[in-house]
Amino acid sequence: MAADRAGMFSHDENLADANRSYSGDEAEVNGNWTPQEKALHEARLKAKAKRRLRKSSSRNSTSESLSESGDVAGGDPNSPKGKVNTNDRKSRTGKGRGLPKKGGAGGKGVWGAAGMVYEDEEPDMRDPNYDESSQGDTVYATVVPEVDEKELGKMVNPIVKEYFEHGDTKEVQMLLKELNLGPHKYEFSSLAVSLSLEGKASHRELTSRLLSDLTGKVLSQNDMSRAFDKILKELPDLILDTPEAPQMLGQFIARAIADHILPMSFLDCYKGKVVCEHARVALDRAVVLLTMKREMVRLDNVWGVGGGLRPVKHLVKEMNLLLKEYLVSGEVSEAERCLRDLEVPHFHHELVYEAVVMVLESKGDTASHMMMKLLQSFWKTGLITVDQMNRGFQRVYSELPEINLDVPHAHSIMEAFVDLCYQESVITKQLRDACPSRGRKRFVSEGDGGVIKS
């Protein structure tokens, strides 16, 4: 009741103050004011009185809330009871039940509500208290940068050329996995095929095997299709260095389809859509090879058999045919090309052996001069090495007694041919001195001037 009376008293007092101010101001009103100015002045005074009333009512409500909480109105604000606790989590607006905000679980630096279970959190490297040594063994991930398209050729060409030497597809597969080719990995196949077109038949055979082994492991059929499509578009530039590039590419495509590197529908995608004449020749070549009457599971012999895989009898036959054609035509360049196509540098001593035997079995000096010219050309160009040349002549030296049974004058012919080769710098002096003689040289008489008895 006392609070109500105090509140009523303050309310009436405020109204009285407002009326007094209003009356005082009204007494000061100049009689010369117009009615509109007078009404505006009265409205301002009434609004000012209402604002004073609202301020006094808010003060009374605050004092009431403090009295309800046990504080004495008008007490000492410095006392523990009169001082408002700013760190109190209870609402200061006088609303609610006086409980902490969010049940005591909110705010900065709090532990949260009672009964809350926290999960393990991953340590943050940006945390000032983060200790790298206490996190156990550190595992560093190796990041391989993606190969730029401009540098792809510089990195792939050495890999392919080394493969042509050792022929190990697993090593190439390992090297490609170490490179991050990214979206340009299909270009490895196109670069390998382009290099093999400029090389030998054995290089193309190795390339076909490489593509077959890489498909499904490093490259997909889609990558192979994109690679061969790119090569078909580059044929006008490839034929400048390799005129037979369209036919070779057709053989590559046929071999790839037979090896399941390319899908069977690869050729169907180009029907009626090819404008380039060279690409049309390559695709027609592939169609012809795939539609042959002979039933072959794989076109294994499309590049022929490599020199190292051919039987020895076949190689000997090829070299005999090479030498016989040379004795007829006399073209050293053609003989050199045929010998290079055989791709058996470790077996060139057989050519030297067969050439010397043909000289021993021939009649006249024509064969000896032509064979000397052929061996001299092979020696100067480096096609036949010193070791192969020595092994060829030494084989004839060791078999000369048996050859002498069929050719009675084999020793004299051999000595004459060896002297001719030495004079033309085909063989060394040591090899000439190693030539076996025909036995003890008998003279007709002591005074005949040293004439050897025939």
267-287 pLDDT, tens digit each: 888 888 888 899 999 999 888
Q: Are 166 and 199 in contact (CB under 8 A)?
A: no
259 or 343, which is more confident? Answer: 259
CA neighbor of 409 nearest in space, from 452, 438, 388? 438
Query: How is residue 452 annotated by DSSP?
Result: B
- Ranking 271-280, 345-354, 368-377, 445-454 by mean pLDDT, the lowest is 445-454
Is residue 283 a contact partner of residue 247, using CB atoms and an 8 Å limit? no
Candidates 61, 139, 118, 121; CA nearest to 94 is 61
Q: For residue 22, what pLDDT is reported?
A: 45
pLDDT exceeds cutoff 90 at 4: no
pTM above 0.75, yes or no: no
Q: Could you state, in order of their start, the residue ranges of all structural domains in the chain?
A: 152-290, 308-433
**64-113: per-residue pLDDT in tens?**
554 554 444 444 555 554 555 656 655 566 666 666 666 667 667 777 77
Residues 6+ apart with CB under 8 A from 248: 197, 204, 242
Summarize the confidence of residues 143-167 as an average pLDDT: 85
In this prediction, residue 38 carries a pLDDT of 85
145 vs 22: CA distance, rounded Å: 86
Region 308-433: CATH code? 1.25.40.180
Q: Which of 187, 197, 192, 198 is nearest to 162 (CA)?
A: 192
CA triple 310-312-313, angle to 5 deg = 105
Do 180 and 146 meet the contact criterion of CB atoms below 8 Å apart? yes
d(CA 324, CA 335): 10
Q: Does residue 246 surpass a pLDDT of 50?
A: yes
Backbone angles phi, psi at 448, to 5 degrees: -90, 5
Mean pLDDT within 156-180:
89
Radius of gyration of the chain (CA): 54
Instruction: Say what angle helices 348-361 and 410-423 make with each other, to 10 degrees.
Output: 120
pLDDT at position 165? 86
Among 1-5, 271-275, 341-345, the least confident range: 1-5
pLDDT for 193: 92
Q: Residue 118: pLDDT above 70?
A: yes
Query: Which of 258, 255, 189 minimizes the C-alpha distance to 227?
Result: 189
Distance CA 49, CA 21 (A): 9
How far apart CA 94 and CA 111 sit, in angstroms, is 27
Whether the domain at 152-290 and the domain at 308-433 fall into the same CATH topology: yes
pLDDT mean over 104-132: 75
Cβ 427 vs Cβ 389: under 8 Å: yes
Supply the pLDDT for residue 35.
83
Alpha-carbon distance 84 to 80, whole Å? 8
Residue 356, pLDDT score: 93
The DSSP code sequence of 193-205 is HHHHHTS-HHHHH
Assess whether pLDDT exceeds 50 at residue 7.
no
Tens of pLDDT along 189-213? Answer: 999 999 999 888 888 888 998 999 9
Mean pLDDT of the 423-432 span: 90
* Domain boundaries 152-290, corresponding CATH code: 1.25.40.180
Question: Is the predicted pLDDT of residue 125 greater than 60, yes or no?
Answer: yes
Assign 100 to helix, strand or coil: coil
Confidence of residue 138 (pLDDT cuts 50, 70, 90): low
Give me the mean pLDDT over the 391-407 stretch: 91
Tens-digit pLDDT profile for residues 362-393: 888 888 999 999 999 998 888 899 999 999 99
- Per-residue DSSP letters for 263-311? -GGGTGGGTTT---HHHHHHHHHHHHHHT-SS--SS-TTTT---GGGS-
* Band of pLDDT at residue 230, cut at 50, 70 and 90: very high
End-to-end Cα spacing for the chain: 167
Q: What is the pLDDT of residues 14-31, one digit of tens each?
A: 555 545 544 444 444 455
Whether the pLDDT of residue 33 is over 90: the answer is no
Q: How many CB atoms lie within 10 A of CB 318?
A: 18
Could you tell me which residues come within 8 angstroms of residue 60 by beta carbon, excluding any fewer than 6 positions away?
Answer: 6, 7, 10
pLDDT at 1: 42
> Contact, 325 vs 351, CB < 8 A?
no
